[in-house]
Structure 1
Amino acid sequence: MARVVVDVMLKPEILDPQGKAVQGALPRLGFSGVSDVRQGKRFELEIDGDATDETLARVHEIAETLLSNPVIEDYAVHVEGGSASAKHRA
């Protein structure tokens, strides 16, 4: 069994109001030195069997059709505990 992680983030050119709200709150809470905050989503998928190229291709399909909005979001897929990693930017 493999654990595959999909991280979804807004594209850099898309405004991130939640990230800006966190960034604005940090100094009020005594945290300095943070120049930008971007908010995202993390999905962990437990996959039956090994994380083969075919399996990872299916995860990319899942990420593109269900987990992300390719118009405004990018995603990255990686196997937790493994070295396989792939990013997608639409």
Structure 2
Amino acid sequence: MPTIVVDVMPKAELLDPQGKAVTGSLARLGHDAFQNVRIGKRIELTVEGEVTDELLAEARTIADEILSNAVIEDVVDVAVVE
């Protein structure tokens, strides 16, 4: 069955406290090459049958209206994985 994957990230202009904590931890552990970490979420929607353009558009609408908080998050990708 195909899966539609929705990737959501905090808006770039907002502080990401989880990402900041991980960035600090990496530095303390000696991984200095990573200067900034941002943490988002991945939502997988499994569907039966073929993923049509209409179904993908519906998933995008769901991602924008239900799966993300438009005030603090951006939907960065809606894609099909087989």
TM-score (norm 1): 0.83
CA distance in 2, matches of 1:24, 1:55: 41
Q: Which residue of 2 aligns with 1:41?
A: 41
Instruction: State the identity as a percent.
Output: 56
Q: Which residue of 2 aligns with 1:16?
A: 16
1:23-68 Cα offsets, whole Å, 9 max, x none, are 0010212222001100100011101111111000110111112110
- The amino acid that maps onto 1:19 is G
Paired residues, number: 81
Q: Which residue of 1 aligns with 2:72?
A: 72
CA distance in 1, matches of 2:23, 2:12: 16
Quote the RMSD (CA, aligned, Å): 1.1
Mark the runs of 5 or more structure 1 residues left unpaired by the alignment.
Answer: 82-90
Would you identify which runs of 4 or more consecutive aligned residues in structure 1 move more than 6 Å? none
Q: Which residue of 2 aligns with 1:3?
A: 3
CA distance in 1, matches of 2:2, 2:43: 14
TM-score (norm 2): 0.91
User: Greater relative contact order: 1 or 2 (C-alpha under 8 angstroms, separation 6 or more)?
Assistant: 2
Is it true that 1:28 corresponds to 2:21 in the alignment? no
